[in-house]
Amino acid sequence: MSADSNLLQPIVFGAISLANRVVMAPLTRCRAGAGNVPTDLMVEYYRQRASTGLIISEATQIMPEGQGYPSTPGIHSAEQVAGWRKITDAVHAAGGKMVLQLWHVGRVSHSEFQPNQALPVAPSAIAIPGEGYTPSGMKKPYETPRALETAEIPGIIAAYVQGAKNSIAAGFDGVEIHGANGYLIDQFMRDGSNHRTDQYGGSLENRTRLLMEVVEAVTAAVGAERTGLRISPVQPANGMSDSNPQETFTYVVEKLNAYPLAYLHIAGMGVDQPGAAGPTFDLNSLRPLWSGKLVVNYRYDLAKAEAAIAGGYADAVAFGVPLIANPDLVARIAQDAPWNEADSSSFYGGDEHGYTDYPVLSAH
Ligand SMILES: Cc1cc2nc3c(=O)[nH]c(=O)nc-3n(C[C@H](O)[C@H](O)[C@H](O)COP(=O)(O)O)c2cc1C
């Protein structure tokens, strides 16, 4: 592949102009500092990856209750906003664009993360099987969460809005609402984790109400042209199950057309995992339903990514693990150079090792 690669063509997502169609997928790296404030090492990490058309930040909690892993950054305190500002300044100075992924983990949290050691909140009091993280990095059995009262939901939506406004104040080009991977919004959408009997549970319209209200409120606050959304129709992680994901996500994507979002991001993650809805779910069926720009993700290599764009299945491709290991992925695509392998032992937590020290192509 070379400079005439599909991936290297520019594209416009709403108010955001991308120099190319290589998107950095959101990647939790658990390296925030005290107070979950972004660090100078994080500035360097993102700066190194600024040649991608768009960087999506690691998932970032919108409120203390939304955290579920150690040392993940937040976007709810003034110190966090100031920390992110250094990152967006560095990315912009290097010619890049960046959005922040707005996150509430819901029942994936543990009381040790919660103010006053309260139980984590969720649509329903249904625990995830197995063990999750505590702030020390040790794993403990997931707790049975507390079902949110109907009257508490406007406060959650307000936290998404504040997170979005704080992101713009921190210099981001926009936000990505995290509706994927078994976190709070996804927990509401799936009938396995949502047994509510109020207007946020039961029918498809009710289960997707939180998503739609968050989309409505965030787009009203910062503009649809600066708002993206990530969904993961086939992802079974974090105890997700859904009796009819094809129906759920056909409904979601059709309804989202009412909002001229900067982009929709579909993560195919889980498609080949046990228990995934993958074998019966046709991800490509969502493309013709969506009138806006589409980003796809999950184990794309160069050939698959080029083909997805050439075939009209996607407008851009997000790369996760390849961008952990190849900060200069765009140059490697342009020069048809090989890609470094990632070391998964340094994905979560630690220092610059496996974070900012991956080799780049030498200039010639
Ligand atoms: C270390 C790591 C951290 C991740 N963190 C996030 C995250 O914060 N938000 C999210 O939506 N997905 C997250 N994901 C999923 C990735 O965005 C992506 O969907 C996944 O890695 C598959 O894409 P890939 O095959 O290009 O790596 C993470 C994946 C990995 C490996």
Phi-psi domain of 239 (left: phi exceeds 0; alpha: psi -120 through 50; beta: other): left
CB 55 within 8 A of CB 14: no
Q: How confident is the model at residue 284 (pLDDT cuts 50, 70, 90)?
A: confident
Q: How confident is the model at residue 206 (pLDDT cuts 50, 70, 90)?
A: very high
Which residue's CA is the closest to the ligand 1 atom numbered 28? 27
Q: How confident is the model at residue 282 (pLDDT cuts 50, 70, 90)?
A: confident
Ligand 1 midpoint to CA 364 (Å): 32
- Is the minimum distance from the CB of 27 to ligand 1 under 6 angstroms? yes
Ligand 1 midpoint to CA 26 (Å): 6
- Is the minimum distance from the CB of 304 to ligand 1 under 6 angstroms? no
The pTM (predicted TM-score) of the whole model is 0.97
Ligand 1 midpoint to CA 237 (Å): 12
Q: What is the pLDDT of residues 78-130, one digit of tens each?
A: 999 999 999 999 999 999 999 999 999 999 999 999 999 999 999 999 999 99
Ligand 1 midpoint to CA 320 (Å): 5
Which residue's CA is the closest to the ligand 1 atom numbered 31? 321
Summarize the confidence of residues 133-145 as an average pLDDT: 97
Q: Which are the catalytic amino acids?
A: 183
Residues whose CB falls within 8 Å of the CB of residue 326, separated by 6 or more in sequence, listed in order? 332, 339, 340, 358
Of 247, 73, 93, residue with least CA distance to 167: 73
Q: How confident is the model at residue 308 (pLDDT cuts 50, 70, 90)?
A: very high
> Is 363 a residue whose pLDDT tops 90?
no
* Phi, psi angles (nearest 5°) of residue 361: -65, 140
Q: How far apart are CA 153 and CA 213, in angstroms?
A: 10
Task: Give the model's pLDDT for residue 73.
Answer: 98
> Is 142 a residue whose pLDDT tops 70?
yes
Summarize the confidence of residues 321-342 as an average pLDDT: 97
Task: Give the model's pLDDT for residue 274.
Answer: 58
CB 115 within 8 A of CB 198: no
Q: How confident is the model at residue 2 (pLDDT cuts 50, 70, 90)?
A: low
CB 199 within 8 A of CB 206: yes
Task: Give the model's pLDDT for residue 230.
Answer: 98
Task: Give the model's pLDDT for residue 278.
Answer: 53
Task: Give the model's pLDDT for residue 305.
Answer: 94
> Is 227 a residue whose pLDDT tops 60?
yes
> Is 270 a residue whose pLDDT tops 80?
no
- Is the minimum distance from the CB of 26 to ligand 1 under 6 angstroms? yes
Residue of 22, 28, 71, 264 best suited for mutating to test ligand 1, as the one with most atoms within 8 Å of CB:
28
Please state, rounded to an integer, the average pLDDT across all residues of the chain.
95
Amino acid at 177: I
Task: Give the model's pLDDT for residue 283.
Answer: 83
Q: How confident is the model at residue 232 (pLDDT cuts 50, 70, 90)?
A: very high
Task: Give the model's pLDDT for residue 236.
Answer: 86
- Is the minimum distance from the CB of 219 to ligand 1 under 6 angstroms? no
Summarize the confidence of residues 44-55 as an average pLDDT: 98
Task: Give the model's pLDDT for residue 323.
Answer: 98
